[in-house]
């Protein structure tokens, strides 16, 4: 702190011994030591307060920088969202136009057919089974009958 050498401290000590005297010199030295310690603590507290204030100012500057960056990012994201939203709406409008044109095209192609009445087809008539086919069907059913059923040809006893 002070630029004092050993020879200068020796001279100050001799002068203090002569001026204060040998009886009060230890008490004065003790008091000066306490005062010097308090001075050092006070100086260190002031230094730490100054450092805290400097760090606080740096944090405030960093906060302002971060807020600006966040605003910039928010604006860019908002603009991109708006752009995408407009593109989606535009695509939706195009799809809607295509749907409407397809409806009109279908209606225009179906218009000539509307004057024609369509005749509903008649239900199919039951077909007559030929006699030969009926015998074959009966023979097949006899061989495929289950054991708990009697064949159609056999009479019950």
**How far is CA 12 from each of CA 6, 16, 24, rounded to the nearest angstrom?**
10, 6, 15
Q: What is the pLDDT of residues 57-78, one digit of tens each?
A: 999 999 999 999 999 999 999 9
Which residues have a Cβ under 8 Å from the Cβ of 153 and sit 6 or more positions away? 138, 142
**How far is CA 146 from each of CA 29, 32, 65, 143, 151, rounded to the nearest angstrom?**
129, 126, 92, 9, 9
Q: What is the pLDDT of residues 19-40, one digit of tens each?
A: 888 888 889 889 999 999 999 9
φ, ψ for residue 2, nearest 5 deg? -100, 150
89 pLDDT above the threshold of 90: yes
Across residues 114-136, what is the average pLDDT? 59
Do 127 and 121 touch, CB atoms closer than 8 A?
no
Q: What pLDDT score was predicted for residue 1?
A: 53
């Amino acid at each position: 702190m002070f630029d004092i050498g050993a020879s200068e401290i020796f001279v100050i000590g001799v002068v203090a011994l002569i001026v204060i005297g040998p009886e009060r010199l230890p008490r004065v030295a003790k008091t000066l030591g306490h005062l010097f310690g308090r001075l050092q603590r006070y100086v260190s507290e002031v230094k730490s307060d100054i450092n805290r204030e400097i760090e606080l100012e740096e944090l405030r500057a960093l906060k302002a920088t971060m807020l600006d960056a966040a605003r910039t990012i928010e604006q860019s994201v908002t603009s991109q969202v708006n752009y995408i939203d407009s593109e989606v709406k535009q695509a939706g409008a195009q799809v809607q136009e295509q749907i409407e044109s397809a409806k009109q095209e279908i209606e225009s192609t179906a218009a000539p057919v509307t004057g024609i009445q369509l005749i509903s087809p008649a239900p199919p008539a039951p077909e007559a089974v030929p006699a030969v086919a009926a015998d074959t069907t009966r023979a097949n059913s006899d061989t495929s009958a289950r054991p708990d059923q009697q064949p159609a040809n056999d009479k019950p006893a």
